[in-house]
Amino acid sequence: MGPFAMMSWVVIVVAGSALLAVHLVLMVACAPLVRGGLVAGVARVGGGEGLPVLARWRLILSCARRHGVRAAGGVEIVPAMALAVALAACLLVPSFALGLPGAGLSDLLTVAGLLVLARLLPLLAALEPGGARAGLAAAGDTAALVVMQAVFPLTVAAAVMATGHGGIDALLTRLREPDMGSGRVSAMLMALALLLAGPDIGPGDEARAAERMVDLGGRGRAAMELARDLMLMAWITLAGDLAWPGGLAMLQEGGLLPAAMSLPGAIVAWLVRTGVICAGIVVARVVVMGSVRGTRGRLVLALLFATLAVVVLFADQEGV
């Protein structure tokens, strides 16, 4: 490798790392705003008085400044582990550009596994002996976790059938091609299934989350709250990518990083996707998921949409 090629490679790595850092900063900065907006939107549409959108960030920062009581046993490290896993999932979900460093690790199965683990860790901590209120709240979330485990294999199967890829970057690149046809329909169904099964956006989820963290304080509470918000942000971003991959900035010819001029528009497209999905969640939360029965229906719909994503592709292959 000559000096010029070596210098070009270094520039690409440095520029890619900078873009990856921007991606992660945007995900972290927007995550509490997204949950705050959802909580405020649901309250206002439902006729109540919602908290300010910035209330989530204020809560997290306020908890981070306090010194909470140290939890006993393995519970002490759970908030840090949950935050690290949620950050890793956010790092692997493209927000505004494809082909950033680490894209080869960005696999649907990997991201789904990380998000399930991030959801499971707080439940395991809450089920520790001595935490009755937290344990009861955690037990109420186990059904949703079971449905998540059922939806993800179907979603991954549909993605591989549609494009031949399980990697997120390769999958989204293929979905942008004009000949996809039923693959795009399947991707929309996958996005709906993920939104229904993944995020904790149902009635009572906020109250159960507060009960699970009743014994946490200080930085542990801050880490757990931020981890919840990052998980929600990852689900929404992944669903938005599947539903509208055309808004992502693409690699240039020769495998180079996306052109600088395409990045501002791609960031705006990501913010628009996120806003549209949040508005849809608010309406669905009030109209469809307004009760416990609605929550069960939501989980059934998640399985239905994931199954339909596979069926659509089977039907298309049979028709060929």
- Let me know if residue 119 belongs to a domain: yes
* DSSP code, position 51: P
CB atoms inside a 10 Å sphere around CB 172: 24
- Let me know if residue 246 belongs to a domain: yes
- Let me know if residue 42 belongs to a domain: no
Tokens representing 245? 């991959």
In order along its 320 residues, the chain shows pLDDT tens digits of: 555 455 466 767 788 899 999 999 999 999 999 999 998 888 888 666 667 888 999 999 998 888 755 555 556 788 899 999 999 999 999 999 998 888 888 888 899 889 988 888 877 766 665 555 555 555 556 666 766 777 888 888 888 887 787 889 989 988 888 888 788 899 999 999 988 888 888 777 787 777 777 777 788 889 999 999 999 999 999 999 999 998 999 887 666 778 888 899 999 999 999 999 999 988 887 776 666 555 667 777 888 888 888 888 877 665 54
- Let me know if residue 50 belongs to a domain: no
CA 248 to chain centre: 16
- Let me know if residue 221 belongs to a domain: yes
- Let me know if residue 41 belongs to a domain: no
- Let me know if residue 35 belongs to a domain: no
Q: Is-contact 305 192, C-beta < 8 A?
A: yes
- Let me know if residue 86 belongs to a domain: yes
> What total number of domains does the chain contain?
1
Q: What is the H or E stretch that residue 235 is in?
A: helix 218-243
* DSSP code, position 187: H
Query: What is the C-alpha separation between 183 and 181, in angstroms, rounded?
Result: 5
Query: Nearest to residue 252, comparing CAs of 240, 263, 237, 243?
Result: 263
Containing domain of residue 294, as a range? 59-319
